[in-house]
């Protein structure tokens, strides 16, 4: 069982709490779940709504792992075991992290490697995403992937080569590094890397969940690319029906950031407190993502069986889709 980026996951929760007020102000133009719904045309999300609920896992490591060690771990991933577990509980979709803050990714990407120049590559040689998609498809389980909207925060080389800057003063700033901005050159490079993954996987990957879209007014809300439209287009390059969500942080009520997303990221810490007024938040399918354990990627469950079932049932009956994060 792989070790999680414990420090990263812990600091992520602290960081989100710290920036909660700033995020609310920045996202003021997002559509709230209490506003009048405007269903999309056509609805890519019909299958997602029909699926009702699914599973999410963090498959991560820390920044100190070597490329050789990471490749050994990815090569040894118990694919058959995971597929058996998922098939036994019956979800219709499954999310897994491509990577997060360490700079290690569980799929090769020549475009990313060309930009960052790190050798040996911190992208795995094995395409675990492609292998997962192939193994899950016969079981009727669609694969979806998680990726941060920014460069890997703990990889200083990647951050500098990709020209990434955090959008506010915080723990991820390098000494003397300026704060954020539009970061157009970074976004073009990030979209190019995303496009390579999407084109390789094609229709075998059915959705994307982009984390950390905390500064949409600075980075994406422009009529010319790079913007939300070009970001979504890169993710859909290999599958025009792929679902896309951009995460604004932990917000209740749930909002949608842009008409370019198909479903709400819906990151929530206290799922029992979430109210779903119907299927749509603006044009987006109402979706909630929370953790079944004490925090992201950890166990044991914090709810009794009956509590987890009741939370899920109430949201589904209101028109929501529910995703539970569990340890790998």
pLDDT band at 12 (very low <50, low <70, confident <90, very high): very low
Angle at 149 between CA 195 and CA 44, to 5 degrees: 60
pTM of the model: 0.90
**Any domain includes 1:** no
Whole-number pLDDT of residue 38 = 62
The reported pLDDT for the residue numbered 104 is: 98
Looking at residues 37-63, what average pLDDT do you find?
87
Could you tell me which residue, 324 or 5, shows the higher pLDDT? 324
Confidence of residue 42 (pLDDT cuts 50, 70, 90): low
Least confident piece of the model among 75-84, 172-181, 229-238: 172-181
How much is the pLDDT for 180?
85
CB atoms within 10 A of CB 228: 21
Average pLDDT over residues 44-62: 97
pLDDT of residue 171: 60
Cβ atoms within 10 Å, residue 154? 19
Residue 39: per-residue pLDDT: 59
| pLDDT at residue 126 in the model | 98
Element spanning 162, H or E: helix 156-162
Query: What single DSSP character describes residue 238?
Result: S
Please, which pLDDT band fits residue 18 given cuts at 50, 70 and 90?
Answer: very low
Residue 173 reports pLDDT greater than 70: no
21: left (phi over 0), alpha (psi -120 to 50) or beta: alpha
Over residues 208-222, the mean pLDDT reads: 97
Task: Please calculate the CA angle 280-285-287 and round it to the nearest 5 degrees.
Answer: 110
The percentage of residues in the chain with a pLDDT greater than 90, rounded to a whole number, is 82
| Torsion sign (Cα): 130, 131, 135, 138 | positive
Contact yes or no for 255/216 (Cβ under 8 A): no
Please tell me the total count of domains within the chain: 1
60 or 15, higher pLDDT? 60
- Measured CA to CA, the distance from residue 244 to residue 246 in angstroms comes to 7
CA dihedral 200, 82, 5, 212 (to 10 degrees): 50
What is the band of 7 on the pLDDT scale with cuts at 50, 70, 90?
very low
Q: Are strands 31-32 and 255-256 parallel, antiparallel or unpaired?
A: antiparallel
Question: Can you tell me whether residue 14 is helix, strand or coil?
Answer: helix
Judge whether 96 lies within some domain: yes
Q: Which residue has the higher pLDDT, 300 or 174?
A: 300
Q: Cα–Cα distance between 242 and 50 in angstroms, integer?
A: 16
Question: Which of 152-156, 173-177, 202-206, 284-288 bottoms out in mean pLDDT, i.e. has the lowest?
Answer: 173-177
Tokens 């990726």 sit on residue: 147
Distance separating the N- and C-terminal Cα atoms of the chain: 7
Residue 124 maps to which CATH number? 3.20.20.80
Chain center to CA of 258: 16
What does the alpha-carbon distance between residue 265 and residue 259 come to, in Å, rounded to a whole number?
13
Q: In this predicted structure, what is the pLDDT of residue 325?
A: 98
| H helix count then E strand count, the chain | 12, 11
The residues near 314 (Cβ < 8 Å, ≥ 6 apart) are 276
In a domain, 229, yes or no: yes
In this predicted structure, what is the pLDDT of residue 169? 57
Residue 28 pLDDT exceeds 70: no
Looking at residues 138-144, what average pLDDT do you find? 98
Average pLDDT over residues 262-275: 98
Burial of 111 (0-12, 13-18, 19+ CB in 10 A): middle
Residue ranges making up the domain that contains 38 = 6-325
- Tell me: pLDDT of 259 over 70: yes
Nearest to 231 by CA among 265, 255, 248, 208: 208
């Amino acid at each position: 069982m792989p070790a999680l980026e414990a420090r990263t996951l812990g600091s992520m929760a602290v960081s989100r709490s710290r920036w909660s007020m700033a995020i609310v102000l920045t996202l003021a133009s997002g559509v709230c779940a209490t506003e009048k719904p405007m269903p999309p045309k056509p609805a890519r999300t019909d299958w997602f709504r029909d699926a009702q609920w699914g599973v999410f896992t963090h498959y991560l490591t820390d920044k100190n792992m070597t490329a050789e060690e990471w490749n050994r771990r990815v090569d040894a991933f118990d694919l058959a075991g995971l597929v058996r577990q998922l098939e036994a509980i019956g979800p219709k979709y499954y999310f897994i992290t491509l990577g997060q803050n360490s700079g290690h990714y569980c799929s090769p990407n020549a475009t990313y490697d060309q930009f960052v120049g790190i050798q040996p590559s911190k992208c795995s040689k094995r395409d675990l995403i492609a292998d997962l998609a192939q193994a899950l498809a016969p079981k009727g389980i669609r694969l979806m992937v998680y990726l941060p909207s920014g460069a890997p925060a703990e990889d200083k080389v990647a951050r500098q080569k990709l020209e990434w800057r955090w959008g506010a003063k915080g723990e991820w700033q390098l000494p003397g590094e300026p704060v954020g901005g539009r970061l157009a050159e970074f976004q073009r490079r990030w979209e190019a890397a995303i496009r390579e993954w999407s084109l390789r996987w094609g229709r075998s990957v059915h959705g994307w969940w982009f984390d950390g879209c905390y500064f949409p007014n600075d980075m994406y809300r422009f009529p010319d690319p790079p913007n939300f439209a070009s970001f979504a287009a890169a993710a859909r390059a290999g599958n025009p029906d792929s679902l896309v969500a951009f995460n604004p942080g932990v917000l209740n009520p749930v909002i949608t950031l842009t008409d370019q997303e198909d479903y709400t990221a819906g990151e929530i810490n206290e799922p029992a407190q979430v109210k779903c007024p119907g299927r749509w938040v603006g044009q987006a399918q109402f979706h909630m993502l929370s953790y079944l354990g004490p925090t992201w990627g950890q166990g044991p469950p914090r709810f009794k069986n009956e509590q987890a079932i009741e939370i899920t049932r109430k949201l589904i009956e209101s028109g929501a889709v529910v995703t539970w994060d569990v340890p790998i």
